[in-house]
Structure 1
């Protein structure tokens, strides 16, 4: 079947919730949970080191809708809606002549159902502000453009993929019959899986799926950081079962595009808002600087991305909005703080790579006010001890808290912050973090250095006149924080 294709490519974003990068086979998970994602990553473009700019639902979503940091939009924590006049991907694609649609979890409004003025410019709407509160595994309630509730049949991720397929089918034919040209469409499909079901603190997989994976492989951090707070041993079967079913739905969506002769002219991006550390780093599932919280899967296929490309440099999901606009031939607005990854595909080792930052910048809220940079090898994290993590989006004073050598400690089990042996690299990373905070529009803070008591005493013995003001002492043998 041949169709009169749109002059510009269609664009679909598939967005999961709380999915770790190492839940995918291409990242070494041995349980064959994600054959569809792995195939897209291998034949399309795999962003091998993808990170969220904020490991909290709403801030991460504000960033991926706007291409701007959470403190720039003001959405630095949950419960803050996108401000009026804040332009989103839907606004930019809509202005370029695209039909725009949103399906699933939004989490950027104040009310349920989401009023039209808080839908980020999306014209077709079938969503819920906080989908985990309006639905459960086999009862998916969303709201249409009129604000009326709609119950979608089937397991929840299946129901949302079915709705996405219906949107594609409705926009596949050109207006006015075969003589017309298909209007390009942009669709954002936002799933809740593999997020936990809040009110019962469980990961409800489809019937029969949890049993397949319970008691099987665990990532090293989840296997090592044991204790009463670690829920991975109890929840990993359901979590993996959810991911497997999401991958099957993703495959059905690609098959539907193929059957409608749209696959070759549709850019499809798959990623997540943040990861999940199963209460091993604090008292809940994210809101920490660790890769379990911030590292996510990301792969793209379609025009500009097919051919087996791979990007090994750290990339933020804040870079996805300008990338999609760039790939679709839509101008990238100067207000976006992310940048298109297309030059990295064109020149993986050329001038584009030289101009690309070596680190991603992460903001943390709600658990604490924190800032981090993550390079290919290093993780450097500071916290604001005097700030209120709910009321303060930023602070004037931070203290070094964590430093990890990811080349030797990829699952961040040994915190090097405050060790004299790593003072030089910590100082270098500290300056880089300050620079990234300024580039993001934050006011320049003070970052106090960290030193162990024993090492501070040794420094004073070696040089009684050494200047130690601004150095924060900690207990010798400082371990990864769990608070």
Structure 2
């Protein structure tokens, strides 16, 4: 039988980069994620191109930044004519499959998938949501939200689920992924196994709700002056969601439940990988593990995600287990727009010209690449843009007269905004010019099929200003 190259993409939702043992967390138990890391490449400077679900996932699907594929906020559809990873793999005869939460827009969009088992946390009608149908069949109809409304708002949604482990969404998604691998036959395949957790609410089933002692989990990074010299929007959110009432007890409890969710997901990742082993598929399957974005988890005395660009929500776990490569840790600056071109490189296929990410094969094989980028970028809607290097971060807000500049080498927890401090004006201008150059280089590339572009506004802008921006 011919040995085809297969792809398994495993994603979690709202998973911080430091919430895995392989990333140095001494408390959390993630043996299966750790195994992937020990057998593959662990990227220690991986970032999402958007700190919200939909845009980030669409960037994985397209290899383009949100302002280019146009799905730059949740529930906004992809640009007409935009080619996706699914299109490219279907063309090559792959059995393309997705199991779990995709967060496509609209929710029922399949983007050409040949096999799908989707669950969207209430975004799909009950008769189209596979998890809801599963719960109804097993006597838990109406429990698709996994929590009890009587306790939901207690302690910032850190509660025990009324669902047993075998009926929790992480278990369902793991089982469905295993089932697909069993049924795929001799087809070469692409499987995206996308877990719903550890996205809020911080709900875990027994025994994962008590797996971690709140007294022993690490505390986040914040100081008494939060939110300090931040945007007005951040200050409003801080009060509106009651973050000013967060205390150590609640933060520790939330973290314990969050870790419990991740450990359950890890258990199911193990099931999927073992199924590949049982069918002798592990030797020819590229496995990428990552998340769409992170979670504040008490950093800056906030939870969840929001209209800001702290490392807690933009830095993500990213592991690439590519057959034939050895374990290493790589600190190059990478982004989830790099997933599509990495898959194409692994398969020996050309990377389409529209792709804005860069293939990771060189970094995976050698640990370095001379022409690699120095900065990554992230954005939220049209109004917030970030550029981050290893040492500096600059955040631009379109709707507010405020900027953020952090010296990450001296201030890794982003306490001190230097944008308005004497002596940092030159650095702000340097970072803003690089950010503007990136925006011009990447703006509005896809167009409707059948149309030709002679010269865009961006081309004219480059002609007038690009040389100045580079100085």
Q: Which secondary structure does the structure 1 equivalent of 2:167 belong to?
A: coil
Q: How far, CA to CA, are the matches of 1:323 and 1:204 in structure 2?
A: 34
Higher relative contact order (CA 8 A, sep 6+): 2
| Aligned match of 1:160 | 173
Summarize the Cα distance change of 1:249–1:233 in structure 2 as closer, same or farther, 3 Å threshold.
Answer: same
**For residue 346 of structure 2, what is the aligned residue in structure 1?**
327
Verify: 1:17 aligned to 2:33, yes or no.
no
SS at match of 1:215: helix
Give the stretch that moved more between structures: 229-238 or 260-269: 229-238
Q: Which residue of 2 aligns with 1:228?
A: 245
Give, in whole Å, the separation in 2 of the partners of 1:369 and 1:328. Answer: 37
Question: Cα RMSD (Å) of the superposition?
Answer: 2.7
Question: Taking structure 1 as reference, are residues 76 and 262 closer, same or farther at Cα in structure 2, changes over 3 Å only?
Answer: same
Q: Are 1:221 and 1:412, in contact at CA under 8 Å, matched by a contact in 2?
A: no
- Secondary structure of 1:380's partner? strand
- Structure 1 residues 133 and 79 mapped into 2: Cα distance closer, same or farther (>3 Å)? closer
Alignment partner of 1:434 out of 433, 436, 445? 436
8 A contact 1:56–1:287 mirrored in 2 = no
* Alignment partner of 2:114 out of 123, 132, 140: 123
Q: 2:58 aligns with which of 52, 62, 72?
A: 62
Find the partner of 2:200 among 188, 196, 200: 196
- Alignment partners' CA distance in 2, 1:440 and 1:36: 37
Instruction: Kindly indicate which of the two structures has a greater share of residues assigned to strand.
Output: 1
Give the alignment partner of residue 376 of structure 1, picking from 380, 390, 408.
390
Residue ranges of structure 1 left out of the alignment (5+ in a row): 175-182, 198-202, 387-398, 447-483
Alpha-carbon shift at residue 131 of structure 1 (Å): 2.6
> Contact between 2:43 and 2:329, CA under 8 Å: does it hold in 1?
yes
Aligned twin of 2:451? none
Give the match's secondary structure for 2:409: coil
TM-score normalized by structure 2?
0.78
Aligned counterpart in structure 2 of residue 92 of structure 1, from 50, 71, 88:
88
Alpha-carbon separation, structure 1, partners of 2:87 and 2:328? 29
CA distance in 1, matches of 2:6, 2:223: 42
Secondary structure at the residue paired with 1:87? Answer: coil
Where in structure 2 are the equivalents of 1:79-478 lying within 5 Å?
79-110=75-106, 114=108, 118-128=109-119, 130-131=120-121, 143=129, 149-151=133-135, 154-171=167-184, 173-174=185-186, 183-197=187-201, 203-213=202-212, 214-221=214-221, 227-228=244-245, 232-278=251-297, 284-304=304-324, 306-349=325-368, 353-365=369-381, 369-385=383-399, 399-441=401-443
The number of aligned residues is: 397
Q: 1:219 to 1:60 in 2, by over 3 A?
A: farther
1:6 paired residue number: 3
Shift of the 400–42 alpha-carbon distance from structure 1 to 2, 3 Å rule, reads farther
CA distance in structure 2 between the aligned counterparts of 1:35 and 1:253, rounded to whole angstroms: 13
User: What is the CA distance between 1:279 and its match in structure 2?
Assistant: 6.7
Measured after TM superposition, the shift of residue 234 of structure 1 is 4.0
**1:377-428 deviations in whole A, cap 9, x for unaligned?**
1111110126xxxxxxxxxxxx552111111222212222211233332222
Secondary structure of the residue that 2:60 maps to in structure 1?
helix
2:122 and 2:328 map into 1 onto residues whose CA distance is 35
The question of whether the paired residues in 2 share the 8 Å contact of 1:378 and 1:403 is answered with yes
Residues 71-126 of structure 1: CA deviation (Å, up to 9, x unaligned): 11110111212244322211111111111101111222235xx1xxx211111011
After superposing the two structures, state which structure 1 stretch, 212-221 or 93-102, moved more. Answer: 212-221
Sort the Cα spacing of 1:78 and 1:303 in 2 relative to 1 into closer, same or farther, 3 A: same
Measured in 2, the distance between the counterparts of 1:196 and 1:309 equals 32
Whole-angstrom CA distance in 1 between matches of 2:423 and 2:132: 61
Instruction: Give the deviation of 1:134 after TM superposition.
Output: 6.3
How far the C-alpha of 1:252 sits from its partner, in A, is 1.4
Deviation, 1:208, is 2.3
**CA distances 1:153-182 after superposition (whole Å, capped 9, x unpaired):** 6221111011001101111x43xxxxxxxx
Tell me which residue corresponds to 2:29.
33
- Contact between 1:220 and 1:411, CA under 8 Å: does it hold in 2? no
Assess if the C-alpha contact under 8 Å between 2:222 and 2:298 holds in 1: no
| CA separation of 1:217 and 1:132: change in aligned 2, threshold 3 A | farther
**Structure 2 alignment gaps of length 5 or more:** 139-165, 227-242, 445-456, 462-471
Cα 1:96–1:234 shift into 2, 3 Å: same
Question: Contact between 1:359 and 1:375, CA under 8 Å: does it hold in 2?
Answer: yes
State the TM-score, normalizing by the size of structure 1.
Answer: 0.76
2:29 and 2:128 map into 1 onto residues whose CA distance is 27
